[in-house]
Every structure is written in structure tokens, then in C-alpha cells.
Structure 1
């Protein structure tokens, strides 16, 4: 299985991305869906959300 590529790999988060993360998380979107929408890895998205006290819904 080929590794998925992320355009923003190791790039700092900007205000627009942070706002979009807050919006999507507020709508109850899951980590995988948010990460894909932002072009970020799930790990990066989870870490940024945790550092900024943004709750992401747990999807199964």
C-alpha cells in the first residue's frame, strides 16, 4: 500500500487552516475527514487540535 502524500508535510499551521479545523470539528466531523480536508496527516491534525484545545469527534 503506497503512503499517502500530504502537501503541507512539516509546514506550520496558518490561521485559515486553524479556523477550518475549528469549523469542521464544531460540525462533528471525524479526525480522518478533517485531516483529508486540510491536506494534513491525521497525526498532525490531532496534535494541533490537542495543543489548541479543539475537540474532535471520535468516529468509528
Structure 2
């Protein structure tokens, strides 16, 4: 029987949170922010929502 999928769930550091705020203020897209922070898009989106940040959507 296979193990169920388990996320790694790394804690956010103060530097990562600061960088997330800076990149979101610059208007960067979710995908670009996730790549810059080497985190999943879902993780970045959840953290931004928890901090009350708006992330630009690609058009």
C-alpha cells in the first residue's frame, strides 16, 4: 500500500515574508514570486492571503 501524499510545510522565515511583501508591492505575478522564493504557488498564495496582501494576476 502506498503512503498518502504529504506536504513538507516549511516554516516561513522573516526574510522570506519581507521579500514576499516587497515582490507583491512591485506587482509581480504569483508564479514569479513563487519561483523567486522557491516555494509552491499555493504556499505563496496562502501566506499572502494570511498577511492581507494582494497578488497581481497575469493578463
TM-score by length of 2: 0.83
Deviation at 1:59, TM superposition (A): 1.0
Residue 33 in structure 1 maps to residue 35 in structure 2: no
Instruction: Give the secondary structure class of the aligned counterpart of 2:57.
Output: coil
Q: Unaligned regions of 5+ residues in structure 1, if any?
A: 1-8
User: Highest CA radius of gyration, 1 or 2?
Assistant: 2
TM-score by length of 1: 0.82
Aligned residue pairs total 52
Give the structure with the higher percent helix.
2
Which residue in the other structure is 1:23 paired with? 22
Q: Unaligned regions of 5+ residues in structure 2, if any?
A: 1-7
Higher relative contact order (CA 8 A, sep 6+): 1
**Whole-angstrom CA distance in 2 between matches of 1:21 and 1:38:** 8
Q: What does residue range 1-60 of structure 1 map to in structure 2 within 5 Å? A: 9-60=8-59
